Each structure stands twice: as structure tokens, then as C-alpha cells.
Amino acid sequence: MRPLAVLTFALAAGAASAGDLDRFTAYQRSEYQAIKPTAAELKWREIPWLTNLSEGIRTAKAEKRPLLLWVSGDEPLDRC
């Protein structure tokens, strides 16, 4: 379990550089490469997300685009 925890922490902290991967075992490095997002999978980060609903509605109307509302209750990982 510990290797996964270390790998998970490294991924949560951001993209690991080549030097960071040196401290992992061969198995951990292979797991990192297997789950590391590709550039295509990170395209959503290029979207200029808006956090203000009024501004989002105005922008969607002006650009004649649909509006995506992503809402959540208190803690997204807690039970509903």
C-alpha cells in the first residue's frame, strides 16, 4: 500500500519531473506512466472556466453557446 500512497502524493502535487521519478521503484515508475494524463486528456484545462454565474450567462448569450453548470453540495466526496 505504501508505494501507491507515495505515487498518489507525487501525482497530487503536480507533474513529476524526470528527477522526481528517480526516487521511485521501477514498478512505481511504470504505474505513473500508465496513469499519467496525456496532453489530449488535459485539454479541459485550456477552457476559460467562469465561476460567476451572471458572467457565465452573459458570456454564453453573447457567444451563442450553451451553458454548463457544474454544481455540488457541501463536500463532493461525502454522502448525499
Q: State pLDDT tens for residues 16-50.
A: 566 778 888 999 989 988 898 989 999 988 988 89
Answer yes or no: is pLDDT of 9 > 50. no
d(C-alpha 28, C-alpha 4), whole Å: 8
In a domain, residue 8? The reply is yes
Q: Which domain holds residue 31?
A: 2-40
In a domain, residue 76? The reply is no
Mean pLDDT of the chain: 78
- Evaluate if pTM is beyond 0.75: no
In a domain, residue 30? The reply is yes
In a domain, residue 16? The reply is yes
d(C-alpha 57, C-alpha 13), whole Å: 33
In a domain, residue 66? The reply is no
What is the domain count for the chain? Answer: 1
The number of residues in the chain equals 80
In a domain, residue 20? The reply is yes
In a domain, residue 72? The reply is no
> What counts of helices (H) and strands (E) characterise the chain?
4, 0
CB 11 within 8 A of CB 32: yes
In a domain, residue 55? The reply is no
d(C-alpha 47, C-alpha 28), whole Å: 31
